[in-house]
């Protein structure tokens, strides 16, 4: 397993109709990370993907091109293809119950009713991965 590489997945809904929707904050974070660290995102069939480094750490950035509720269809195969262990997955997603801009980090846990996380947990076979909830108020 490639235990030094991390997969960072930002959840959102694809298409221009959703581009400016606050629920796409996970996509926005991936776009920002890509810009800040010179990582090119390339559109593939089920996700936009880019590989590079953040502070010397090898990363794969991923924006699923599925709707949020089906995020596991992109995240699961990406982990397996890159031989990245589940505990080296970080998921960025929106949280209505947090004030806008507030961030909460959990090292692991359940899906908390979030359908995108539920899909990912099912696709990767566990919930032993960190997640970053970003408040959208």
List active site positions: 23
Which 3 state secondary structure label does DSSP give 137?
coil
Report how far residue 15's alpha carbon sits from residue 67's, in angstroms, rounded to the nearest whole number. Answer: 10
Find where tokens 């509720």 sit: 69
Length of the chain: 137
Strand (E) or helix (H) holding 54: strand 47-54
Q: Residue 43: which residues within 8 A CB-CB, separation 6 or more? A: 65
Q: What is the DSSP letter of 68?
A: G
CA angle 114, 42, 58 (to 5 degrees): 75
């Amino acid at each position: 397993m490639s235990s030094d590489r991390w997969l960072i997945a930002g959840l959102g809904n694809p298409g221009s109709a959703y581009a400016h929707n606050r629920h796409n904050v996970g996509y926005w974070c991936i776009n920002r990370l890509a810009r800040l660290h010179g990582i090119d995102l390339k559109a593939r069939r089920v996700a936009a993907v880019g590989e590079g480094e953040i502070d010397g750490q090898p990363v794969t950035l991923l924006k699923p091109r599925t709707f949020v509720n089906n995020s596991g269809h992109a995240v699961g195969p990406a982990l397996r293809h890159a031989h990245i262990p589940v505990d080296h997955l970080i998921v960025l997603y929106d949280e209505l119950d947090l004030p806008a801009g507030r961030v909460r980090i959990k090292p692991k846990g359940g899906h908390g009713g979030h359908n995108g996380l539920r899909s990912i947990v099912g696709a990767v076979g566990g919930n032993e991965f960190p997640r970053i909830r970003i408040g959208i108020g």
